[in-house]
Structure 1
């Protein structure tokens, strides 16, 4: 008997005495908690997202969709990136402002090979303002999870306002739990018993978030 069969067998035994008319799980637990804390306009919600992203040491930029390629080009140049990985489903125009070598997203790429990539550029599934969190779900413009965990520099494009929500409950409503979800709150970091912070331990050392809107806005470097 495999471990899987043992686990499933125990689950079946635990559920054996549950009545067939038992209240479904999604209805059994009252969910009367606040869906968001306070009322905010769209602009205020986006500002809160930018503030919390910066608080987590992400670098936040704002631009219009027409300025996005130039903005990404500037970020890659400032980083000195010679190679950049972009998921196959991302907009090809995102890299129109850079001469950096495109690295293909290959399933057979090893962690060592991905570690040699200077930067990765992706989209996102949703961004949560109250927690300063970016969520990736493996969609074509985001690619496989490991391409955003191994390279040291991640540029994430967030469409404003359609991809921005106030709270985690609102984000969960938009996400498919069957997809590979990666929740990112700032660059990868940890600390030891003396609270010495070390970044880049289990993900990129530098996270840059570009908030893209059709409304002109000054760039924010926080």
Structure 2
């Protein structure tokens, strides 16, 4: 008997008492864990997000909607970006004053072409305070997953407090599992080789997160 056959046999034995017509959603699963750790105000939750993002070596900035375009111009200029990748649904006024050449997210764009782009600017689906994680779901202001994995510099705009939750369980309640989800906790890094930290291996070397508070203009 092959290893595959052994595994499948164990699965069949484990499912032997399951009624043939039963579906996963028919069975209630007890979830006794805490949905969030501690009682925090919205302001404290955003503060925890900023603290944990910085702990993961992301660069954190704060702005209001009116000041966002100027901030993005400054961040791109400080980076020396000549090209910026733009998802199709990114609000046009965010980069209205920016000098870099816009590169649009197209299906025909090759990884080599994306690698030549200096920066990418996106929104996000949700941000998790307890883990310092931003989650992208390929929404119109985020584009396809690869545009945030290939370029070396990613600026992600998070609307606070609307897009900020305290915990992973709260984030999962907002996300559609059928969408391509990208979970980002700081710049891409690995310590697989002799425990030496190397950044920019599986994604951007530099992650900048802009927390924008206040109603859109």
Same fold (TM over 0.5): yes
| Residue correspondence of structure 1 range 37-186 to structure 2 within 5 A | 37-186=37-186
CA RMSD of aligned residues (A): 2.2
**Structure 2 unaligned blocks of 5 or more:** 1-9
Task: Tell me how far apart the structure 2 counterparts of residues 23 and 87 of structure 1 sit (CA, whole Å).
Answer: 38
| 1:48-81 deviation per Cα after TM superposition (whole angstroms, max 9, x unaligned) | 0000000000000000011111111100000000
Task: Tell me how far apart the structure 2 counterparts of residues 12 and 175 of structure 1 sit (CA, whole Å).
Answer: 32
Kindly tell me: are residues 114 and 193 of structure 1, through their superposed partners in 2, closer, same or farther at Cα, counting changes over 3 Å? closer
Task: Tell me how far apart the structure 2 counterparts of residues 95 and 18 of structure 1 sit (CA, whole Å).
Answer: 55
Task: Tell me how far apart the structure 2 counterparts of residues 94 and 14 of structure 1 sit (CA, whole Å).
Answer: 54
Give the 4+ runs in structure 1 shifted more than 3 A. 10-17, 20-28
How far apart are 1:104 and its partner, in Å? 1.4
Task: Tell me how far apart the structure 1 counterparts of residues 175 and 207 of structure 2 sit (CA, whole Å).
Answer: 22
Q: For 2:63, what is the secondary structure of its paired residue?
A: strand
Q: Report what 2:6 is aligned to.
A: none
Instruction: Tell me if the contact between 1:87 and 1:142 (Cα under 8 Å) persists in the aligned partners.
Output: yes
Task: Tell me how far apart the structure 2 counterparts of residues 89 and 107 of structure 1 sit (CA, whole Å).
Answer: 15
Instruction: Tell me if the contact between 1:70 and 1:96 (Cα under 8 Å) persists in the aligned partners.
Output: no
**Structure 1 unaligned blocks of 5 or more:** 1-9, 216-222
Q: Report what 2:189 is aligned to.
A: 189
176-185 vs 104-113, which moves further? 104-113
TM-score, with length taken from structure 2: 0.89
Task: Tell me how far apart the structure 2 counterparts of residues 42 and 141 of structure 1 sit (CA, whole Å).
Answer: 24
How far apart are 1:30 and its partner, in Å? 1.1
How far apart are 1:20 and its partner, in Å? 5.1
| 1:130-159 deviation per Cα after TM superposition (whole angstroms, max 9, x unaligned) | 000000000111000000000000000000
Matched positions, count: 207
Q: Report what 1:34 is aligned to.
A: 34
28-37 vs 203-212, which moves further? 28-37
